[in-house]
């Protein structure tokens, strides 16, 4: 059972993917954490994420893996270091390079294929590029205001800072040249603006049952 969950920042991907994975007793794979780990490495080496050649040479000597809900960067557990505003902005920038995307997609597929029983995999290009054969593709959306509100509550930023962050990151993620964020043609689109977590989880599970029915 492979469920792809895509959507913009603050649409509820992480919460919903974790809850659905829990209900189905399968793995939750957070692909954004891998882009964030790479962004952290670049920031630590003072390398601008826009520097494509520099990023490619860093990639050649980088190992990023996922396990137990934590991301490991060259063996170091960096889960607690990758949600800062600096890493967040750099992760979206570094995700624009084709070489980075190819590198990530390859690793992400291996993680998912090793997961016993399947996985709920969240990101931006899961249904469109990483796992086009997923059993179910979900695309979560929500109004920009609601997404900014959720972000500010999670990260302790003001609403206007969060709105600015969400809006500029989504524009970049949706308009980039390679694997832009968009719903897969066969995705179930769920607007989470006025739904509770339980309601969204139930919608995903219902969509999954419908897909599985002969
Ligand atoms: O899901 P997130 O906010 O942790 O992701 C951080 C950034 O990583 C996001 O702005 C774009 C990039 N990303 C991506 O391009 N493709 C993915 N599958 C996951 C994340």
Listing DSSP states for the chain in one string gives -EEEEE--TTSSHHHHHHHHHHHHT-EEEETHHHHHHHHHHHHHTT--TT-HHHHHHHHHT--EEEETTEEEETTEE-GGGS-SHHHHHHHHHHTT-HHHHHHHHHHHHHHHHHSTT-EEEEESSIIIII-TT-SEEEEEE--HHHHHHHHHHHH---HHHHHHHHHHHHHHHHH-SSS-----TTPEEEE-TT--HHHHHHHHHHHHHHHH--
| Nearest residue (CA) to ligand 1, atom 12 | 92
Q: How far is the CA of 214 from the centre of ligand 1 (A)?
A: 34
> Dihedral of the CA atoms 200, 34, 156, 173 (nearest 10)?
-70
Look at residue 68 in the predicted model and tell me its pLDDT: 78
pLDDT tens for 43-55 read 999 999 999 999 9
- Please give the number of the atom of ligand 1 that sits closest to the Cα of 108: 18
Pairing verdict, β 64-67 and 136-141:
unpaired
pLDDT at 52: 94
Kindly list the protein residues whose Cβ atom lies closer than 6 A to any atom of ligand 1. 9, 31-32, 35-36, 91-92, 95, 123-126, 169, 173
pTM of the model: 0.96
- The confidence score (pLDDT) of residue 54 equals 95
Whole-number pLDDT of residue 154:
81
206 C-alpha to ligand 1 centroid (Å): 26
pLDDT tens-digit readout, 13-36: 999 999 999 999 999 999 999 999
Superfamily of domain 2-208: P-loop containing nucleotide triphosphate hydrolases (3.40.50.300)
Name residues of the chain where pLDDT drops below 70.
214
């Amino acid at each position: 059972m492979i469920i792809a969950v895509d959507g913009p920042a603050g649409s509820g991907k992480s919460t919903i993917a974790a809850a659905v994975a829990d209900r189905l007793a399968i793995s939750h794979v957070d692909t954004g954490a891998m882009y964030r780990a790479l962004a952290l490495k670049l920031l630590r080496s003072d390398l601008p994420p826009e520097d494509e050649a520099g990023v490619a040479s860093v990639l050649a000597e980088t190992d990023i893996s996922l396990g137990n809900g934590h991301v490991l960067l060259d063996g170091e557990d960096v889960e607690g270091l990758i949600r800062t505003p600096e890493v967040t902005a750099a992760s979206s920038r570094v995700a624009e390079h084709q070489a980075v995307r190819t590198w990530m997609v390859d690793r992400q597929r291996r993680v998912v294929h090793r997961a016993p029983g399947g996985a709920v995999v969240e990101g931006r290009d899961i249904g469109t590029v990483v796992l086009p054969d997923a059993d179910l593709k979900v695309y979560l959306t929500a109004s920009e205001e609601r997404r900014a509100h959720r972000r500010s509550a999670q990260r302790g930023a003001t609403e206007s800072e969060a709105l600015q962050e969400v809006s500029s990151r989504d524009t970049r993620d949706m308009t980039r040249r390679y694997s832009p964020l968009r719903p897969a043609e066969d995705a179930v689109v769920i607007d989470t603006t006025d739904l509770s977590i339980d309601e969204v989880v139930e919608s995903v599970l219902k969509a999954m049952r419908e897909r599985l029915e002969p």
